[in-house]
């Protein structure tokens, strides 16, 4: 099997998406990607992200590949955690406090820097609607984040997210309470839980 065919097979196994990092990790040259794009066998969706012509571009994967330190947060995380029906109009990401936010902001990403230990708290992987894995804050971390007044999340969105979370079988109230203490929203969380539990 030729290098090109092996790369296309890798893309098929990854829901039609392949990154230049995946190609290099598999032992192939980046030049193989250029050849496949020039031949029309792959399409370049963004820097370092390619997809098969018959697949839709996964914006979540493209953005996170471009901004590897970014973690999906707030309304984008609510969507990925299946706690809202609203598809995000603009993607929301958190970055380490020292990260230069100029490029993500120019790309239309709603972003904020976050100090440790807050940046790393509750990072998990979620599956996008396109079937790909991306870094995102957990449901518990996101529920605490949306309670903060500084994040300006609509009250209706917050209420619906909590209702959907409480209705789940796989909820983790002790972890939710632990994150609330760390993020200083325990009083607000208690108010929601007293009504819903």
User: Domain residue spans in the chain?
Assistant: 3-57, 61-196
**pLDDT tens digits along 11-66:** 888 878 888 888 899 898 888 888 899 989 998 887 788 888 888 778 898 898 88
Q: How many Cα neighbours within 13 Å face the side chain of 35?
A: 12
Over residues 143-172, the pLDDT tens digits come to: 999 999 989 999 999 999 999 999 999 999
Strand 110-114 vs strand 123-127: parallel, antiparallel, or unpaired? unpaired
Q: How many residues does the chain have?
A: 197
CATH number of 3-57: 1.10.10.10
**DSSP-assigned letter for residue 194:** H
SS3 133: strand
Cα Rg of the chain, angstroms: 19
| 158 within 8 A of 147, measured Cβ to Cβ | yes
* Structure confidence at residue 112 as a pLDDT band (50, 70, 90): very high
d(CA 187, CA 166): 17
**Coil, helix or strand at residue 48:** coil
The whole-chain average pLDDT of the chain stands at: 91
Please give the Cα distance from 84 to 101 (Å, whole number).
27
**1 confidence band (pLDDT: 50, 70, 90):** low
**Distance separating alpha carbons of residues 68 and 149, to the nearest angstrom:** 27
Q: Give which of 38, 91, 73 is closest to 143, Cα–Cα.
A: 73
CA-to-CA distance for 144 and 178, rounded, in angstroms?
A: 10
Kindly give the interhelix angle for 186-196 and 155-166, rounded to the nearest 10 degrees: 60
Residue 91: predicted pLDDT: 96
Q: What is the pTM of this model?
A: 0.83
Rounded to the nearest 10 degrees, the angle between the axes of helix 186-196 and helix 173-182 is 150
pLDDT-based confidence at residue 194 (cuts at 50, 70, 90): confident
Q: 48 or 121: which carries more pLDDT confidence?
A: 121
């Amino acid at each position: 099997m030729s290098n090109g065919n092996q790369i296309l097979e890798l893309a098929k196994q990854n829901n039609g998406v392949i990154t230049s990092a995946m190609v290099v990790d598999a032992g192939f040259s980046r030049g193989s990607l250029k050849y496949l794009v020039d031949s029309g066998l792959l399409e370049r969706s963004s820097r370092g992200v390619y997809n098969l012509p018959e697949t839709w571009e996964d914006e979540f994967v493209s953005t996170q590949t471009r901004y590897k330190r970014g973690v999906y947060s707030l309304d984008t995380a609510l969507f990925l955690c299946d706690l809202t029906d609203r598809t995000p109009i603009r993607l929301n990401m958190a970055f380490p406090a020292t990260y230069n936010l100029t490029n993500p902001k120019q790309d239309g990403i709603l972003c904020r820097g976050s100090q440790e230990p807050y940046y790393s708290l509750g990072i998990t992987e979620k599956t996008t609607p396109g079937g790909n894995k991306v870094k995102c804050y957990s449901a518990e971390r996101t529920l605490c984040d949306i309670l903060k007044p500084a994040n300006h999340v609509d009250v209706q969105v917050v209420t619906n997210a909590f209702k959907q979370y409480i209705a789940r079988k796989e909820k983790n109230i002790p972890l939710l309470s632990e994150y609330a203490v760390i993020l200083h929203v325990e009083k607000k969380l208690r108010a929601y839980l007293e009504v819903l539990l």
